[in-house]
Amino acid sequence: MAILLDENTKVIVQGITGKQGSFHAKSMIDYGTKVIAGVTPGKGGQEFLGLPVFDSMKEAVKETQATASVIFIPARFTYSAALEAIDSGIKLLTIITEGIPVKDTAKIKQKAIKNKVVMVGPNCPGLITPGASKIGIIPGEICSPGNVGIVSRSGTLTYEIIQNLTVNGFGQSTCVGLGGDPIKGIGFNECLKWFEEDPQTKQIILVGEIGGTGEQEAADLVKSEITKPVFAFIAGQTAPPGKQMGHAGAIVHGKSGTAQEKMRILVEAGITTVRTSSEIPIKIRESI
């Protein structure tokens, strides 16, 4: 079953005629994602990649009954595009764009929560249910269908872990890239709960980073509600205190956001925590 998306999910690409939007829309289509329309203001009525293009999300959703949208739009326009998507009635909003002002993201998130929209990102690689559908930029060729659910704050590190799992014979149910901004849509806990309820998912991998408290909150949830085996890796183990490591949200303040502190808390919660990402398939094999 997997989580969040499957082969029947109807997707609209906002910014489909732009450089990034067109490239990744084609990749999504080639993978088998049911991309059914695009939105670019001023280009409504045209066709692009064999799909109808609409001027607005309201028109696109009305005509296609799509339930998901992905945004490939410059940061300065993302706020209005995201609000338009939420107002159109979609239920899954994925924002790939990076560099969005924090105040804009906060307002988008507030509206998404109010309208019960699952918001992934911004500044994220998106999500994929291997063999069925992908939304965003995760390379489909490194994935394989299976039983391991992945939720991650990282981008390229997630690809490395997926590749290692596939090479070692462990397919994935769904992989979700949360994004690294300090304010974002869904977090670890939402995904952990969905994976816990998903009959296809048998093991869960949590990929964290220095900074923030999401991993600590996830540890509390695992102790109280998650029965499936959870494996964790924290990036930034050698990062000096006070340094930002790639993502706006990956900043350590004192001891609370260090990799060492996060790993200690995760271990205390009963989560198998590794020091290198390559250890994950080994630990999963040992647990079976």
199, HSE (Cβ side, Cα atoms, 13 Å):
1
Which one from 233, 247, 258, 262 is the annotated catalytic residue?
247
Which segments of the chain are extended strands (E)? 10-14, 34-39, 47-48, 51-54, 68-71, 92-95, 118-120, 126-129, 133-136, 145-152, 172-177, 203-209, 230-235, 272-274
CA distance 122 to 94: 7
CA distance 206 to 209: 10
> What is the Cα Rg of the chain in Å?
18
Residue 236 in contact with residue 245, Cβ under 8 Å? yes
Q: Is 242 helix (H, G, I), strand (E, B) or coil?
A: coil
Respond yes or no: is residue 247 known to be catalytic.
yes
- Residue 135 has phi, psi (to 5 degrees) of -125, 115
Catalytic residues: 247
